[in-house]
Structure 1
Amino acid sequence: MMRAMSSAVAGLKAHQDAIDVVGNNIANVNTHSFKSGSVSFRDVMYQNIVSAAGGDPDTGLAGTNPSQIGYGAATASVGVDTSNGGKDQTGRPNDCYIDGQGYFVVADGGQDGTNNYPVGMKYTRVGSLQFDSQGYLTDGNGNYVLGVNNDAGEDGAIPTVTTAMDGKLATDGSLKTDQGDMVPPEYIHYSTEDNTLSNVSFGSDGTITATSGGEVVTLGKVALAHFSNAAGLEDIGSSYYKDTTNSGAAEFYVPGSGATGNLVTGSLENSNVDLATEFSNMILYERGYQANTKIISVADEMLQTLVNMK
């Protein structure tokens, strides 16, 4: 009876975790770029009542299988569905949808004291981009968006550095594309002097153009990060992620190279939550929770019967 009660309590905890995940999914059904979670269960420890035994031809006894009683279930993992959500067509030219598996790279403005590289990088798929009053490309939360600047005086071509295609981290802190082009992550900044930017637009390859002083200028390119195991990223809230040892290090590309995908302007990514699936799971987990509470009630009644014996 005590085993039954312990198993049921473990089952309650596991199903509560599952309901919590469903609740979070449903709450974020309209959150841009939200990735739905799913729960898997595992059984826990067992007690052997009868151990397995092989047959004995001398005695004529046949072999016996082990007899075991388990101690319930537990949450094995909470997985993340990293597939793309649909397009939310906002009509705003600064909104960018990633048609692939890439992530925008943002930072809070800090720099490494040795190499002046951005520090505190995090990743998001919410492409609500804009230039601030200082000429820096930022996201909707005020974080700086990283990419490749177009150096002043160039003809509009994005500067790249080529290297041997060994896939290793370069000495300048950048990573190559499949074609060998290096994309150094840096803060995208444009000095407008006395002119203001207007008609800012983003190309499918991440190229940023705008009108300044009556002329069309190329400002740079947005960089995208790719991870060998995107499901291994850690969600840190506000639609941001940070890399982990299991996600692999970020590989930086320009849009359209690697597996990052192209940019689609005028749209943001919808949540990939499927409400039909979530409501179905909610009913399933609720029934599982109720069944475990019934086991506790029955075990309690059996214990009460023993207590009342005279």
Structure 2
Amino acid sequence: MMRSLFSAVSGLRTHQLRMDVIGDNIANVNTVGFKRSAVTFKDVFYQTLRGGAAGSNDIGGTNPQQIGLGVTLNSIDVIHTQGAAASTNNGTDLMIQGDGFFEVKDVGGNVYYTRAGNFHFDSEGNLVTPDGLIVQDSGGNGINIGTSATSYSIDKYGNVYVDGTQSFQIKLVKFPNPPGLEKIGSNLYAAAAGAGTAIEGVAGDTNFPNTTIIPSALEMSNVELALEFTEMIITERGFQANARTITVSDEMLQELVNLKR
């Protein structure tokens, strides 16, 4: 009897975690460069009531008798599929078409990665994110066009032209396992051991042969509301079913207590 209660409680907890992830996905449906997350479950250990046995010439084999003890979280995976393109008519907005991330650095020299290309030039001529992190070029340096430049343009290979002269090329970085990166907020990812070794390059080179950069466009979130609402319904029903299991188990325990009267 108590096993059913503990199993149902574990079901409530894991379904609540799944709903938390779904809620975050829906909240970021319009976040530039956002990648949705997906939750998977796994069963936990089992109580064996009777072990299995092999058959013989005199008697057939028997299967083990086991009772599961609930469910737990298996993984929360970030799904790195391409988001839709949104035209902005802003020359410093950049979208990666294909694999890779932009590399950006903060004032302390810490390196981060992002798919959100909503950049702008600051008062010193640095190409920066909305939070002031500087976009890196192919040489690992910040992109700075200075304060006296009269014009600039960026082509599909990330070449930055200042007053008609090619001055920089935007650096791209990819990882063998992008879901292994750590989300840190503000559309940024930090390198982690699970992601593998960074592969650096630029759009169109041997490391990024099928990748281009689309100027004056942004990659939107890859969240699909129809999918999220469907997942929400499934999660809600799972939560309700586990809650009902607790209610029924409680009623059975109450009947057992009533036998004493």
Task: Say yes or no: TM over 0.5.
Answer: yes
Within 5 Å, give how 1:189-268 maps onto structure 2.
189-192=144-147, 195=148, 197-211=149-163, 216-257=164-205, 258-259=207-208, 261-268=211-218
Deviates more, 1:197-206 or 1:29-38: 197-206
Question: Cα RMSD over matched residues?
Answer: 1.4
Instruction: Find the counterpart in structure 2 of residue 135 from structure 1.
Output: 125
- Taking only the aligned residue pairs, the percentage that are identical comes to 41
Contact 2:145–2:162 at 8 Å: present in 1 too? no
TM-score, with length taken from structure 1: 0.80
In the TM superposition, residue 199 of structure 1 has moved relative to its aligned partner by 3.3
Q: Deviations over 1:185-231 (max 9, x none)?
A: 11222444xx2x243221111111133xxxx3333111011111111
In the TM superposition, residue 254 of structure 1 has moved relative to its aligned partner by 1.3
Letter in structure 2 aligned against 1:146: Q
Identify the structure with the greater helix proportion: 2
Instruction: Find the counterpart in structure 2 of residue 109 from structure 1.
Output: 107
Contact 1:94–1:200 at 8 Å: present in 2 too? no
The structure with the larger Rg is 1
Contact 1:95–1:127 at 8 Å: present in 2 too? yes
The reply on whether 1:99 has 2:54 as its aligned counterpart is no
Match of 1:88 among 80, 86, 89: 86
| Matched residue SS, 1:285 | helix
TM-score, with length taken from structure 2: 0.95
In the TM superposition, residue 308 of structure 1 has moved relative to its aligned partner by 1.7
Instruction: Find the counterpart in structure 1 of residue 141 from structure 2.
Output: 186
In the TM superposition, residue 249 of structure 1 has moved relative to its aligned partner by 2.4
Letter in structure 2 aligned against 1:126: A
Long gaps (5+) in structure 1: 111-118, 149-183
Instruction: Find the counterpart in structure 1 of residue 35 from structure 2.
Output: 35
C-alpha distance in structure 2 between counterparts of 1:141 and 1:207, whole Å: 23
C-alpha distance in structure 1 between counterparts of 2:118 and 2:225, whole Å: 25
Contact 1:86–1:269 at 8 Å: present in 2 too? yes
C-alpha distance in structure 2 between counterparts of 1:7 and 1:142, whole Å: 48
In the TM superposition, residue 80 of structure 1 has moved relative to its aligned partner by 1.2
Letter in structure 1 aligned against 2:103: V
Long gaps (5+) in structure 2: none
In the TM superposition, residue 247 of structure 1 has moved relative to its aligned partner by 0.5
In the TM superposition, residue 131 of structure 1 has moved relative to its aligned partner by 2.2
How many residue pairs get aligned? The number is 258
| Matched residue SS, 1:305 | helix
C-alpha distance in structure 2 between counterparts of 1:304 and 1:24, whole Å: 39
In the TM superposition, residue 133 of structure 1 has moved relative to its aligned partner by 1.8
Contact 2:127–2:135 at 8 Å: present in 1 too? yes
Contact 1:7–1:72 at 8 Å: present in 2 too? yes
In the TM superposition, residue 132 of structure 1 has moved relative to its aligned partner by 1.8
Instruction: Find the counterpart in structure 1 of residue 114 from structure 2.
Output: 124
Instruction: Find the counterpart in structure 2 of residue 276 from structure 1.
Output: 226
